[in-house]
Amino acid sequence: MRGRPVDGMVEPLRRYTDFTWRSRRKEYWLFVLLYAALFAVASAIDHLLGHGFPGISLHPWGVSARFEHAGPARSLVALALLLPSLALGVRRLHDTDRRGWWMLLAMIPVVGSLVLLILFCREGTRGPNRYGGDPREIG
């Protein structure tokens, strides 16, 4: 990863099939920022096309989530970024010296996602580990 934040955002798109190396926290969170921005733009496009926004509805008996089907723009963004997101998640786990199979924790509602969030926030292994050299020293 180069020095500019934009490079960190698009690096996972360049390495979308690379499940073998390590990725730094900075690369991961910059890509999350890019994903969120693209998803927000896609949501606005879907809204303009009449697909509405998913959100929270207030009812007299409480607050509930209002889920709508994803529109075409949101679906395209999610599909286009699925493989780069998986590859980046695996490389991020490799940086913490864990196997990529830990990504399957995402299939466990709430708890699995929280565990992955904690792992993605943790600092990577200093120096080389079984998945390669330290990306801070290399990049």
Which residue ranges make up each domain of the chain? 5-132
Count CA atoms within 13 Å of residue 118 on its CB side.
7
pTM of the predicted model as reported, rounded to 2 decimal places? 0.80
Q: Which residues contact 84 (CB under 8 A, 6 or more apart)?
A: 12, 13, 15, 16, 31
Higher-pLDDT residue of 2, 94: 94
Q: Is 59 helix (H, G, I), strand (E, B) or coil?
A: strand
The rounded Cα 30 to chain-centroid distance in angstroms is: 9
CB atoms within 10 A of CB 1: 20
Give the C-alpha separation, 96 to 64, whole Å: 37
pLDDT tens, position by position, 58-110: 445 554 455 556 789 999 999 999 999 999 999 999 999 999 999 999 999 89
Helix (H) or strand (E) holding 60, with range, is none
pLDDT at residue 62, rounded to an integer: 52
Q: Is 91 helix (H, G, I), strand (E, B) or coil?
A: helix
